[in-house]
Amino acid sequence: MSDLIALLPGDGIGPEVILQARRVLELYRDQRRIDIELWELDLGAERYLRDKTTFPKEIADRIAGEARAVLLGALGDPRVPTLDYARDILFGLRFGLDLYANIRPVKALDDRLVPLKGRTAKDVDFVVFRENTEGIYVNVGGQFKRGTADEIAINEDVNTRKGVERLIVAGFEYARAHGKKTVHLADKSNAMQHAHELWNRCFFEVAKRYPEIAARHVYIDALCLYLVQDPSPFEVVVTNNLFGDIVTDLGGGLQGGLGMAASASLHASDPKRVGLFEPVHGSAPPLAGKDVANPFAAILTVGLLLTHLGHPQEQTRIEDIVARGIREGACTRDVGGNLGTRAAGDWFLTALQRELGY
């Protein structure tokens, strides 16, 4: 039976980069004979502006019941300033499918992508596990006396023992499976004495199950400092939803920009469940249609998706080819080349076909 992959190109540069990612998947389907079925969804800003559709229940149900993966471009369009449609889609996928572990590799593929003085690509190689279904992003709260001098705005930071523990376990399990020696917890327990005390206590309780792995704690503000001084001591970082969002953008800067940043959102305790895969660069509306967007983040995201489908060797192969493209300048301007989006995709596909012997 084929693995069903839902494609959601999204907005802005999303369709341009997802087209290149789709071509990679089609090559694996048609030439490598990986048994996948591609299902492209008409969702996003254009659909919302056309008929107010956001995330229909029938699509959500089919994804939950039949799909193995969703490949998402990016959402966000200035013509829809409220972003209600984007929240419905993103939260419908992340929360609706309980994809609690957002996994973001931060890996520099060439020395010249690293902006830190005296540091090389080998110093930038860690993974952030961001809790994806709780925290400040659950939108619990409200506004009182809106528009007056006495206005009050509240957003609640929701942290459950179950949610915290399972994310931490996912980080340690990843470390064990990949031979990592350390896991860091990044929190702000010195200031957030209730929510982040739970994170801190749970982290060190879980760590007892993994005696071969060093469990270390770092405050999130200090982590940001340490990452720009020397990121090499970090291998796996576990953190909450908000801090994970912020620190992975910093990580994107360390690895050559968000055009090199891939991500996976998984229900990590059950690898057979549907996963969400997305480059993390956003929709970048000013760049849309100009053939300048870097497709490598989307292509690297395909590598994560193929690992999810049981082909981890292909993730390594894709990384190696992208690294060669950076070295040879066969890439877009943001990472030192002079190719457009389509030409960079063409180069990658040609290199992949050669690598696979076609």
Model confidence over 187-230: pLDDT tens digits? 999 999 999 999 999 999 999 999 999 999 999 999 999 999 99
pLDDT of residue 1: 80
- Domains defined along the chain, listed by start: 1-100+268-358 (3.40.718.10), 104-266 (3.40.718.10)
pLDDT tens digits, 150-197: 999 999 999 999 999 999 999 999 999 999 999 999 999 999 999 999
Enumerate the β-bridge partners of residue 141. Answer: 155
> What pLDDT score was predicted for residue 139?
87
What's the mean pLDDT when you consider all of the chain?
A: 97
Burial of 329 (0-12, 13-18, 19+ CB in 10 A): exposed
Q: What is the pLDDT of residue 333?
A: 97
- Tokens representing 39 are 């299902």
> Alpha-carbon distance 249 to 221, whole Å?
14
Write down the pTM of the prediction: 0.96
| Local confidence band at 335 (pLDDT 50, 70, 90 cut-offs) | very high
What phi, psi does 73 have (nearest 5°)? -75, -85
Taking the C-alpha atoms of residue 183 and residue 270, their distance in angstroms, rounded to an integer, is 21
Taking CA atoms, 314 is separated from 25, 51, 78, 309, 340, in Å, by 11, 39, 37, 10, 24
